[in-house]
Amino acid sequence: MAEKFIFISGGSRGIGRAITLSQAAGGTQIFLNFLRDEESAEAIQKQAQAKGAKVHLIAGNVGDPETVAAIFKTISQKTNHLDAIIHNAALGVFKPVHQLRVKDWDISLDVNAKAFLTLTQAAIPLMKEKGGRIVAISSLGAQRFTPNYGAIGISKAALEDLVRYLAVELAGFGIRVNAVSSGLVETDSLKAFPDFEKMKKEFLARVPGGRLGKPEDIAKVVNFLLGPDSEWIMGQTLIADGGYSLC
């Protein structure tokens, strides 16, 4: 069986960690990007390698195009093909939109949306001959108002539009581009949200699924989009929120 090569941004914590572990298997090499938490990155590296994968840790802020170029220079030294990239890394502040500083706006757009474009552009030379899969992680705040979530929500809306445009433009190379939008998923990042307990209570009172999401719930959808059964899905944002958006 041919070796698989996968790049994951923000792959050491939360949803990214679950995605990394879901892809870890013998014959798979994972290029795991993280920002600063080297301890978490090394811990997930050990867990993934215990499952048979080979994991290359690559630190860096993917919101910086020069860093993205350096990351892919490193990847290109180890393989001439990528099977998949998953853009999970996200940054942003929790405050009303009308109180955002320009710096707050730029950080969110750079890491959550612009990085998806530059990562994809860098990956195309490693994908266009054999095809591949590209998946972005979004959230419900891209499509509906969420208090104090404007900077991130707006950047995720841009991300979802990028998915649609790239899906059409890259289809001829056999590259499938999609996104996964999550509801409330219990991670350390979510717990940093203002009024987390109040928001959690309101979500639980309304969600048909009866619970908050788990990182593994999102990883399973990503796994589907990376697999052969999603061949006919292109440019879509699959919602995994326990039915919350239906109510």
Of 180, 153, 13, the closest CA to residue 89 belongs to 13
Active site residue 244: no
Q: Which of 156, 191, 201, 244 is catalytic?
A: 156
SS3 56: strand
Active site residue 149: yes
Report CA torsion sign: 33, 178, 175, 225.
positive
Which residues, 6 or more positions from 219, have their beta carbon under 8 angstroms from its beta carbon? Answer: 15, 18, 19, 21, 22
Q: Which of 4, 149, 165, 201 is catalytic?
A: 149
Residues designated catalytic: 149, 156
